[in-house]
């Protein structure tokens, strides 16, 4: 596909409902390396290529820093198979000090 936008989104769900918390626009590697295309599209110079998994990790880290309580993280195969994604998510949950990854844990 020559011209499209791909977004990576972080949503929160609980018994009380769901809400989108964060989003990132994915910039394909070939776009990141093409200065003329970047200028035409208005992509700021400081924006670098990051994988969808890396974008997701950043959003999870921001959610932890903001104090969002959660017991687990899920994603589709693109994110679940990303190297380091599982360990990042586990560390985010454990490091957030709000819950642990044990079966049957209740949200706070």
pLDDT digits (tens, 9 = 90+) for 20-72: 999 998 998 998 999 999 999 898 888 899 998 899 889 999 999 999 998 88
Cβ 25 vs Cβ 44: under 8 Å: no
Q: What is the pLDDT of residues 66-104, one digit of tens each?
A: 999 988 888 776 655 554 555 555 555 544 434 333 333
Domain layout of the chain by residue ranges: 6-96
Q: Does the reported pTM lie above 0.75? A: no
C-alpha 51/C-alpha 55 separation (Å) is: 6
Alpha-carbon distance of 67 to 97, in angstroms, equals 9
Closest C-alpha to 19, from 70, 65, 55 = 70
Q: How confident is the model at residue 2 (pLDDT cuts 50, 70, 90)?
A: low
């Amino acid at each position: 596909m020559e011209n499209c936008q791909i977004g990576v989104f972080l949503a929160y769900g609980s018994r009380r409902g769901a809400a989108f918390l964060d989003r990132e626009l994915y910039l394909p590697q070939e776009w990141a390396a093409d200065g003329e295309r970047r200028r035409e599209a208005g992509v700021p110079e400081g924006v670098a290529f990051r994988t969808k998994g890396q974008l997701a990790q950043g959003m999870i880290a921001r959610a932890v820093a903001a104090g969002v309580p959660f017991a687990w993280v899920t994603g589709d195969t693109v994110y679940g198979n990303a190297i380091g994604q599982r360990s990042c998510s586990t560390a985010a949950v454990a490091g957030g000090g709000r819950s642990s990854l044990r079966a049957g844990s209740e949200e706070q």
